[in-house]
């Protein structure tokens, strides 16, 4: 039998070919010059065989990222796995094993047994016993990693891009679980290892919240209901009175309130578990510098932003002179309505990886919790404006959206204030984080979804004309 290392070397070119089609591939748009094997390990059997592989993708000097693959090898690939085919190796078929429940079951077994294979450490969290009978399927969602759902019980997130250093997702889940935090999916197991003596995280197994819906779906259902109520009044003869979001059936405020409480509880628990301290000297300047830098970049691309430049810079500079201690701690880092799940027991935060595309050292640096709060506040604004309904009268549409946003942002902050200090007490910093986020959104929408550009632009107009 050909060794795992040779097998990987054999199919490296084929991997280069399939890479650009993978949802999770972060280097889309840049040519792939080659795929260099980093390591390959046999995890199971001969027929079918399971190989764990790490490769480095060469996309030029600046862009050499590492990715993880699970490869299946069979002499006879069944039709239903045809779509997972990668390459032929001798008379055998090599395919992506995440689609093969027979092979993914091995991962659960290895975790349950606590096995280490050539430096790959499979383990369960303390006190956990796994039911290894569960079969997996990949989640359907658009994702930057690959998650497998076992039965309706566990979800295994395989980190695609292999970063040097332990994943904050795993680290923060463990920290929160140690305090019994109710607002996360309980961590159950992990796959870890090391590359060039630096720890890396390959996978994290958590409890699967079987009947959850994400915050975005919940919030947009509420907005849809409000818009429909307004479409009714719009057509009515006589004076038009805008429907109050508090009066319509789909009101989201009490959910937003509970969500605020959940986020604040997670913040408090993170501070308890991993510490909180007054910001070191220079923190606020660094924050402001960072915001200016981002603004410079976006201004260069998006002319529509220039009328706001002065106001934005003033808001960012206001941060520099803030009096009094600003506490910093570990935070979620990329919080929005798509990162929270409503389960039958309440709100749960997922995906503690932090801001995408940012180096690990920055992602794990302590910062203000207001960053997360600002992310959530911006997300409410997006949810309110996202649905292309009621566009006949853009002014009315905007007014309805604003009413919804204001009500739910307030409810979120009220809820937050029940479990941690009220974020609105630090209006200048919160405001600057919101604007910074909106500037980022302007850049993103400009290059990806120009139709949505008006959402962050309108928010910037609004936020810079109402002083904190």
Partner 1 sequence: MKGAPHTGEAMLPDGHLVEPQAGDYEHAKAAPTDPHWYKRAVFYEVLVRAFHDHDGNGAGDLAGLTRKLDYLEWLGIDCLWLPPFYASPLRDGGYDISDFRAVLPEFGTVEDFVVLLDEAHKRGIRVITDLVMNHTSDQHPWFQESRRDPEGPYGDFYVWNDKDTGYPDARVIFVDTETSNWTYDPVRRQFYWHRFFSHQPDLNYDNFEVGEAMLDVLRFWLDLGIDGFRLDAVPYLFEEEGTNCENLPRTHEFLKRCRKVIDDEYPGRVLLAEANQWPADVVEYFGDPAAGGDEAHMAFHFPLMPRIFMAVRRESRFPISEILAQTPPIPSGAQWGIFLRNHDELTLEMVTDEERDYMYSEYVKDPRMRANIGIRRRLAPLLDNDRNQLELFTALLLSLPGSPVLYYGDEIGMGDNIWLGDRDSVRTPMQWTPDRNAGFSSCDPGRIYLPVIMDPVYGYQAVNVEAQSTSSQSLLNWTRRMIQVRHQHSAFGLGDFSELSSSNPSVLAYRRSHVSNHDAGDDLVICVNNLSRFPQPVELDLGEHAGGVPVELTGGVHFPPIGELPYLLTLPGHGFYWFQIVPPNTGREP
Q: Which residues bind ligand ATP (CB under 6 A)?
A: 139, 141, 143-145, 147, 155, 157, 185, 206-209, 212, 214, 341, 350-351, 353
Residue 49 contacts which entry, partner 1, ligand ATP, none (Cβ below 5-8 A, type-dependent):
none
- C-beta of 410: minimal distance to partner 1 in Å? 14
Nearer to ligand ATP, 185 or 305 (CB): 185
Pick the closer one to ligand ATP by CB: 255 or 351: 351
* Cβ proximity to partner 1, 412 vs 433, nearer residue: 412
> Taking CB within 5 to 8 Å according to partner kind, which of partner 1, ligand ATP, none is near residue 88?
none
Give min distance, CB of 32 to ligand ATP, in A. Answer: 21
Q: Which is nearer to partner 1, 32 or 348 (CB)?
A: 348
Considering beta carbons, is residue 14 or 217 the nearer one to ligand ATP? 217
Question: CB under 5 to 8 A by kind: which of partner 1, ligand ATP, none does 143 bind?
Answer: ligand ATP
353 interface partner picked from partner 1, ligand ATP, none, CB below 5 to 8 A per type: ligand ATP
Q: Which does 342 bind (CB under 5 to 8 A by kind): partner 1, ligand ATP, none?
A: partner 1
Output 251 or 445, the one with its CB closest to ligand ATP.
445
Supply the minimum distance, in Å, between the C-beta of residue 261 and partner 1: 11
281 contact, one of partner 1, ligand ATP, none, CB 5-8 Å limit per kind: none
User: HEC profile for the chain?
Assistant: CCCHHHHHHHHHHHHHHHHHHCCCCCCCCCCCCEEEEEEEEEEECCCCEEEEEEEEEECCCCCEEEEEEEEEEECCCCHHHHHHEEEEECCEEEEEHHHCHHHHHHHHHHHHHCCEECCEEEEECCCCCCCCCCCEEECCCCCCCEEEEECCCEEEEECCECCCECCHHHHHHHHHHHCCCCCECCEEEEEEEEECCEEEEEEEEEECCCCCEEHHHHHHHHHHHHHHHHHHHHCCCCCCCCCCCCCCCCCCHHHHHHHHHHHHHHHHHHHHHHCEEECCCCHHHHHHHHHHHHHHHHHHHCHHHHHHHHHHHHHHHHHHCCCCCCEEECCCCCCCHHHEEEECCEEEECCCCCCCCCCHHHHCCCECCHHHHHHHHHHHHHHHHHCCCCCCCHHHHHHHHHHHHHHHHHHHHHHHHCCCCCHHHHHHHHHHHHHHHHHHHHHHHHHHCHHHCHHHHHHHHHHHHCCC
Q: Could you tell me the smallest distance in angstroms from the CB atom of residue 370 to ligand ATP? A: 22
User: Site residues (CB under 8 A) for partner 1?
Assistant: 80, 137, 140, 152, 210-214, 217-218, 221-222, 224-225, 228, 247, 249-251, 254, 257, 342, 344-345
The smaller minimum CB distance to ligand ATP, of residues 150 and 316, is found at 150
């Amino acid at each position: 039998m050909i060794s795992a290392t040779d097998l990987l070397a054999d199919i490296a070119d084929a991997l280069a070919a399939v890479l650009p089609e993978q949802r999770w591939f972060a280097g889309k748009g840049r040519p792939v010059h080659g795929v260099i094997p980093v390591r390959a390990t046999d995890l199971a059997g001969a027929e079918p065989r399971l190989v764990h592989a790490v490769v480095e993708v060469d996309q030029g000097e600046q862009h050499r990222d590492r990715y993880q693959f699970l490869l299946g090898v069979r002499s006879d690939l069944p039709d239903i796995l045809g779509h997972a085919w990668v390459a032929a190796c001798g008379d055998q078929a090599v395919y992506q094993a995440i689609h093969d429940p027979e092979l993914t079951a091995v991962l659960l077994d290895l975790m349950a047994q606590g096995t280490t294979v050539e430096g790959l450490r499979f383990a369960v969290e303390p006190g956990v016993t796994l039911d290894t009978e569960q079969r997996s399927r990949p989640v359907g969602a658009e994702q930057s990693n690959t998650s497998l759902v076992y039965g309706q019980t566990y979800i295994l997130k395989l980190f695609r891009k292999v970063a040097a250093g332990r994943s904050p997702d795993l680290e923060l889940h463990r920290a929160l679980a140690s305090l019994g935090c109710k607002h996360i999916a309980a961590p159950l197991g992990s796959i870890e290892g090391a590359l060039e003596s630096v720890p890396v995280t390959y996978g994290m197994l958590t409890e699967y919240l079987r009947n959850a819906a994400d915050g975005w779906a919940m919030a947009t259902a509420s907005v849809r209901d409000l818009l429909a109520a307004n479409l009714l009044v719009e057509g009515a003869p006589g004076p038009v009175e805008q429907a109050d979001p508090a009066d319509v059936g789909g009101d989201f405020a009490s959910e937003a309130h509970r969500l605020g409480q959940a986020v604040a509880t997670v913040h408090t628990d993170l501070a308890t578990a991993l510490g909180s301290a007054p910001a070191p000297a220079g923190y606020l300047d660094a924050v402001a510098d960072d915001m200016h830098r981002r603004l410079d970049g976006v201004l260069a691309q998006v002319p529509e932003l220039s009328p706001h430049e002065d106001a934005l810079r003033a808001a960012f500079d206001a941060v520099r002179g803030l009096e009094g201690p600003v506490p910093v701690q570990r935070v979620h880092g990329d919080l929005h309505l798509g990162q929270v799940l409503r389960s039958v027991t309440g709100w749960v935060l997922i995906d503690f990886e932090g801001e995408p595309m940012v180096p690990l050292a920055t992602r794990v640096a302590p910062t203000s919790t207001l960053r997360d709060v600002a992310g959530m506040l911006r997300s409410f604004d997006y949810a309110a404006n996202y649905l292309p309904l009621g566009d006949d009268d853009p002014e009315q549409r905007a007014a309805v959206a604003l009413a919804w946003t204001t009500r739910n942002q307030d409810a979120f902050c009220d809820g937050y204030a029940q479990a941690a200090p009220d974020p609105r007490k630090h209006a200048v910093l919160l405001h600057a984080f919101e604007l910074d986020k909106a500037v980022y959104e302007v850049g993103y929408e400009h290059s990806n979804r120009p139709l949505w550009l008006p959402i962050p632009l309108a928010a910037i107009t609004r936020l810079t004309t109402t002083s904190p």
